Structure 1
C-alpha cells in the first residue's frame, strides 16, 4: 500500500496524521453495506460509551465477515475500555493476523501490555507501531513514559 510507505517516511507530523486518516478510511471499508452500517452503529455506541450495544454490533459484523480486520480491532478497543484484557488480546491477535501492518492494533497491544504490567512487551508493541507510523505522538509519549519509569526505578 503506497500510503503506508508515505506514512513511514513522512517527516511532518501534521501531514503524517492526514495520511494515517486516509489509511484508516481505507481499512474501514469492508466492501459490504451491511458491515459498514454495523460498524457505523458500533462507532456511535463507542462514542456514547454504550459498550454493550457496540459489542453487539461488532459481534454481528465479525460473525458476518470474520476476515474484516477492523471489526476485530474495534472490538479489542472496547475490551480495553472494559479492562477485559484477555478478550482484547484475542481480538488483537485476529486483527493482526488479518492486517499485520495495523499500527493502531499494535498501539492497542501496547496498552494491554502496560495494563497487565508487562512494560518491556508494551515498548516492543509500541516500537512496532512506530515502524509503520514514526510520527505517532501517542506512541512516542507512551514509550517516553515507560522508559522514564524504568529509569526512575533504576536510580
Structure 2
C-alpha cells in the first residue's frame, strides 16, 4: 500500500522525532512526502504530478480541476485533499482550504504539511489562538519545520506583548 497507510511511515515518523541534524531531518521529511505522494494506481500518480505542475506554473484553475477529479476518484487519498487545500489557499478560498485540510487530517492525522497550512490560513484570517495551536500541532508531529518554528516564536512573542 503506497499512500498515507503505507507501513513505512511509522518508522519514518519515529525517526523524525530522533534525528539530530537539520540535514537528516530534511531527508526524513522528504521521504515522508515521497510516500504520501505514492499511490498504487499509476494514473492517480500521473494526475497528481499534472496538478502539481499546474500549481507550479500558477495555473490554479487547472490544478483545482485536476484535484477535484482526484478527490472524487480516490476519496481516501489524503495527499489529493492536501494538494486541493493548497490550491484553495493560493486562490484565497480559505474556508474551502480548511475543509480540505480537515479531510486530509481525518485520513492522515500526522500530516504536518496540512497542520502547518492550517496555521497559515488562520494567520491570514487573523485568528491568533488558532494559528498558534496549528503551529504547535505541526511541530509536535515534525519538530523540524523551520517556518512553523519561526511563526510560533513570533506569535508567542506577540502574545506576551499584549
> Normalised by the size of structure 1, how large is the TM-score?
0.95
Q: Structure 1: how far apart are the matches of 2:121 and 2:26?
A: 23
How big is the shift at 1:148? 2.6
Q: Which runs of 5+ in 2 are unaligned?
A: 1-9
2:24 paired residue among 15, 38, 41: 15
2:114 paired residue among 78, 98, 105: 105
Q: Structure 2: how far apart are the matches of 1:120 and 1:14?
A: 31
Cα distance per residue 1:22-48 (max 9 Å; x no partner): 001001112111111110100110100
Q: Structure 1: how far apart are the matches of 2:144 and 2:59?
A: 31
How big is the shift at 1:11? 2.4
Task: Tell me which stretches of 4 or more aligned residues in structure 1 moved more than 3 Å.
Answer: none
Give the CA RMSD over aligned residues. Answer: 1.0
Q: Which runs of 5+ in 1 are unaligned?
A: none
Higher relative contact order, structure no. (Cα contacts within 8 Å, ≥ 6 residues apart)? 1
How big is the shift at 1:144? 1.6
Q: Report the 3-state secondary structure (helix = DSSP H, G, I; strand = E; otherwise coil) of the residue aligned with 2:144.
A: coil
Q: How many residues align?
A: 153
Q: What corresponds to 1:57 in structure 2?
A: 66
Q: What corresponds to 2:129 in structure 1?
A: 120
Contact 1:43 1:54 in 2 (8 A): yes
Q: Structure 2: how far apart are the matches of 1:85 and 1:64?
A: 23
**Where in structure 2 are the equivalents of 1:56-95 lying within 5 Å?**
56-95=65-104
2:149 paired residue among 122, 140, 143: 140
1:129 paired residue among 124, 129, 138: 138
